[in-house]
Amino acid sequence: MTHSKTKMTAEAAVKVLARRRTNQVVVSTMTIMAPWGEEAATERDLRCVGFMGGASTIGLGVALAKPEVPVWILDGDGSLAMQLGSLLTIANAQPANFIHIVFNNGVYDTSGAQPTLARDAMSFADMAKSAGYSDTYTFNDIETLDSAFDELMEAEGPILIELMTSPIGKGYVAPSHPETEPTPALALNWPKVRQALL
Amino acid sequence: MSDIASGIPAETLFNAIRENNFTDVVAVPDTHVRTLITLLTETKDIRFIQTATEDEAVTLAAGLIIGGRKPLIQIQHAGLYACVNHLRGIGIDGQFPLVFMIGLLGRDPSKAPRDNFGSMVKYAEPLLKALEIPWYLLDTPTDMPLFDEACQKAEAQNSPVAILIGEATV
């Protein structure tokens, strides 16, 4: 699957997921955080910036601590490429309540759309399957994703869903430089999620 | 610190982990504390979770904390160097009470870690100092009260601490 053939936008895929949002803990990272935040963020959302590739294993920790709570990871291709070992760690732990959704747009969207490595040659779904995920799926059109997702939510994890999407293309907006150091978002965010899970 | 480091029995460390109410040990295998790892993998009291990298150990531990568990991170000094950005982003910026247990593999036990010739051992304490992370060096069984102190500090300050294991466990 080459990226030039995909017609699915990340925003449309987010809407498919958002319509199914109930009690899941959702760990999102990088480009996908903005559309997800607009559509479906709740007090059970964790947003990861500054440690690329770490979203999935934060979610793994939550999944292992709370096996009764479904956990969704909204990952990126560039992010996952930075922590490929996490596929082994997740597969080894076998969290049944874990859905790993990878938005594969073939570029580093926030930094100027530079191409990701081997983007037309490899498959994250194949990697995850080989690592030992219970099952993996790849979608490149929104209709097929929409019709399949309810069933996937009932599947025993860990599963990986690779979404072949077009880039969002909004780039990265650098934060301003306030006079005093603000409390980082994650530090404000995680105690609320922890409280919601008690 | 005593003049010469001697190996702390694995069972002593294991008991300290249990007595400080750790529910999980998230680890990358470490030659230095292999006898402790053997104990941890044999017990059902504490969950032992192996990760492929130290980066993952940091984030996984953070997720466990969010879910209400109390993890200990067990890595080697090389792993500390490897996971600096995740330690910064999660431990420091994210304000997670992460307790690291770090083996100083290859340390000359007759010298303080920073006086060792080997860079793996020599730079561990200066790196922690640069990151403003408190560390506690356990050289002999008599240093074990520092283990409890480290755990209490992490909880009190919602910040990372490091427990350095000065000599291989026995």
pLDDT score for A174: 63
Looking at A44-119, list the stretches that DSSP marks H as alpha helix, in order from N- to C-terminal side.
55-65, 77-82, 85-93
A149: tokens are 């997702």
Check CB contact under 8 Å for A61 and B61.
yes
Q: How far apart are the first and last CA of chain B?
A: 19
Distance between CA atoms of residues B127 and B14, nearest Å = 27
Burial category of A32 from C-beta neighbours within 10 Å (exposed 0-12, middle 13-18, buried 19 and up): buried
HSE-CB for A25 with a 13 A CA cutoff: 34
Domains and CATH numbers, chain B: 10-165 (3.40.50.970)
Q: Of B52, B64, B94, which has the smallest distance from its Cβ to A61's Cβ?
A: B64
Q: How confident is the model at residue A169 (pLDDT cuts 50, 70, 90)?
A: confident
Q: Of B60, B68, B96, which has the smallest distance from its Cβ to A60's Cβ?
A: B60
Lowest mean pLDDT among A35-39, A63-67, B61-65, B124-128: A35-39
- Amino acid making up residue A57: T
Q: Is the pLDDT of residue B1 over 60?
A: no
A27: tokens are 């760990």
Distances (CA, A) of A148 to A137, A139, A154, A155, B6: 10, 10, 11, 11, 60
Distance between CA atoms of residues B51 and A124, nearest Å = 19
Q: Is the pLDDT of residue A60 over 70?
A: yes
Q: Is the pLDDT of residue A1 over 80?
A: no
A144-157: average pLDDT: 97
A147-157: average pLDDT: 97
pLDDT score for A167: 85
pLDDT in tens, A98-124: 999 999 999 888 888 889 998 999 999
Asked if B108 reaches chain A (Cβ–Cβ under 8 Å), the answer is no
In angstroms, what separates the C-alpha of A46 from chain B's closest C-alpha? Answer: 10
Distance between CA atoms of residues A80 and A31, nearest Å = 13
Asked if B51 reaches chain A (Cβ–Cβ under 8 Å), the answer is yes
pLDDT score for A170: 73
In a domain, A141, yes or no: yes
Check CB contact under 8 Å for A186 and B90.
yes
Lowest mean pLDDT among A180-194, B45-59, B114-128: A180-194
Name which of A108, A123, A32, A129 is nearest A72 in CA terms: A32
Distance between CA atoms of residues A37 and A28, nearest Å = 9
Task: For residue A83, list chain B residues with Cβ-Cβ distance below 8 A.
Answer: 53, 55-56
- Amino acid making up residue A69: V
Q: How confident is the model at residue A29 (pLDDT cuts 50, 70, 90)?
A: very high
Q: Residue A115 belongs to what domain range?
A: 3-169+181-197
Total domain count, chain A: 1
Q: Are A47 and A189 in contact (CB under 8 A)?
A: yes
In angstroms, what separates the C-alpha of B4 from chain A's closest C-alpha? Answer: 38
A25-53: average pLDDT: 92
In a domain, A175, yes or no: no
Name which of A127, A119, A67 is nearest A91 in CA terms: A127
User: CA of B61: which chain A residue's CA is closest?
Assistant: A61
Distance between CA atoms of residues A190 and B4, nearest Å = 42
The pLDDT mean for chain B works out to 95
A1-28: average pLDDT: 87
Q: Is the pLDDT of residue A40 over 60?
A: yes
In a domain, A174, yes or no: no
In a domain, A125, yes or no: yes
Residue tagged 């008599």 (tokens): B142
* Complex ipTM value: 0.96
Check CB contact under 8 Å for A51 and B55.
yes
Give the CATH number, domain containing residue A188. 3.40.50.970
Task: For residue B86, list chain A residues with Cβ-Cβ distance below 8 A.
Answer: 51, 54
Q: How confident is the model at residue A3 (pLDDT cuts 50, 70, 90)?
A: low
In a domain, A20, yes or no: yes
